[in-house]
Amino acid sequence: MTLPEPPLAILAELSHRCPLRCPYCSNPVELERAGVEMDTATWCRVLDEAVGMGVLQVHFSGGEPTVRQDLETLVAHATEVGLYSNLITSAVLLDEARLGRLHDAGLRHVQVSFQAAEPELADHIGGFKGGHVRKVAVAEAVRRLGMALTVNAVINRHNVEQVDDMIALAVDLGAQRIEIAHVQYYGWGLKNRAALMPTRAATDQAIARVRVAEERLKGRLVFDHVVPDYYATRPKACMNGWGRRFLNITPSGRVLPCHAAETVPGLVFQSVRDLPLAEIWREAPAFQQFRGTDWMPEPCQSCDRKEVDWGGCRCQALAITGDAANADPACELSPFHDRLLALATTEAEAAAPAFVYRQFANAVEPAE
Amino acid sequence: MTDQIRIGEESTPKLAAHVTMKFDKHRDRWVILAPERVLMLDQIAAEILNRCDGKSVAAIIDDLVATFEAPRQDIAKDVIAMLQDMADKGTIVA
């Protein structure tokens, strides 16, 4: 066995609690409760271990990471040990005073999610009245404090027509970066797929508009464009390959190759409460399962792109084909590709059902 | 919002405020840490960026010409192209 390179970054899901209720959330439908969250000292120990194994960045995420009152302590600790911190937030719990404390702790970059370009639709999608206006105010404070701002614009059937307005919002806010993220159908997003899926025509138009804006704003706004899997011809290099560049730690300390990995049956996830992070990364069967290319079936195994897209996404293969070891059906070479496209087309052309909002009341109770 | 930065010999590039450059001992190379991005620098890129400390691009080029004993026009072309790309990605300001 060759030893894997260390991960570049870790996603630290500090809590699954969140004031927003976005139906596209990629968190698992089995949300972890506040009572199982790791304490400050354990997270600090995890950050120490991460640096020790060669991790360079930490993404503080959730749920909503700012529900944790110890976020400043964790950011300060990350800074002290040499990690670059990113805060991935809904922003509605933040104000300028707390942002100032986070900045003092060494935070350099904040990613704020936006559900639409205007308050009415944004607040409907986020399930939080008054959210949009607060996000705008917090984003402005991020810039006033001199931190980098990313606008995360999650695109779905309800706001796909507003993509230019969302780019304009990012420009107005002085963002350095925008993520145009077409919904990825995992967790709550998968549960709400029919309520979120845009038509092919609307999707193509949005993609074309983004390309034009990207060219126009070159050198002023950095674009990250997460293209929609269901209308793709080749799969995304999910997580840049399973167990290859990133890992994800849940609020309770379970270590995952990606945030949806818990949907894959038969995989056992170990916890940083029990084992060193480096050992889990290197040796845990869940990480070995789809690492590299040996596991790949056809059409991946003989494909010249197998070290480009790494077989795409295991969780999507599972969700659509019933087997996580299949090629990602987003690939047109997959025998299941037509099924994927038919699901998207049928759902997008039907009337949108109501959202099942992401909230503990709608969550599946974890099996003990 | 700012206009696109145009890198020329008179520019004085430096890392953007939210960007860090450090030597990564695990990978034995210089890296750039930026919002949700890690850039692994090759030796040339590291030589250029380590000189972005208030010097003009012209002075950086002259310094590299002296260090590597290469033709000035070749070095100038590479330095300006690399810095322009970094400016377009928001990694440096000038």
Tokens of A32: 């972890």
Dump pLDDT digits (tens) for A14-51.
Answer: 999 999 999 999 999 999 999 999 999 999 999 999 99
Beta pairing partners, A85: A58
3-state secondary structure of A148: strand
Whether residue A59 contacts residue A74, with contact meaning beta carbons closer than 8 Å, is answered with no
Which amino acid, one-letter code, is at A101?
R
Q: How confident is the model at residue A1 (pLDDT cuts 50, 70, 90)?
A: low
Determine the residue among B15, B37, B85 to mutate to test chain A binding: the one whose Cβ has the most chain A Cβ atoms within 10 Å: B37
Contacts of A82 in chain B (CB under 8 A): 22
Average pLDDT over residues A198-216: 97
ipTM of this complex: 0.91
List residues in chain B touching A: CB distance below 8 A.
1-5, 16-20, 22, 24, 26-27, 31, 33-36, 38, 87-90
Q: What is the mean pLDDT of chain B?
A: 93
Q: What is the mean pLDDT of chain A?
A: 96
Q: How confident is the model at residue A366 (pLDDT cuts 50, 70, 90)?
A: low
For the purposes of burial, counting CB atoms within 10 Å of the CB of A153, is it exposed (0-12), middle (13-18) or buried (19 or more)?
buried
DSSP assignment of B23-58, as one string?
EETTTTEEEEEETTEEEE--HHHHHHHTTTTT--HH
Average pLDDT over residues A188-209: 97
How many A-B residue pairs are in contact by the CB < 8 A criterion?
Answer: 68
Dump pLDDT digits (tens) for A118-153.
Answer: 999 999 999 999 999 999 999 999 999 999 999 999
The pLDDT score that the predictor gives to residue A114 is 98
3-state secondary structure of A14: coil
- Tell whether the model's pLDDT for residue A365 goes beyond 90: no
- Tell whether the model's pLDDT for residue A233 goes beyond 90: yes
The pLDDT score that the predictor gives to residue A368 is 46
Q: How confident is the model at residue B2 (pLDDT cuts 50, 70, 90)?
A: low
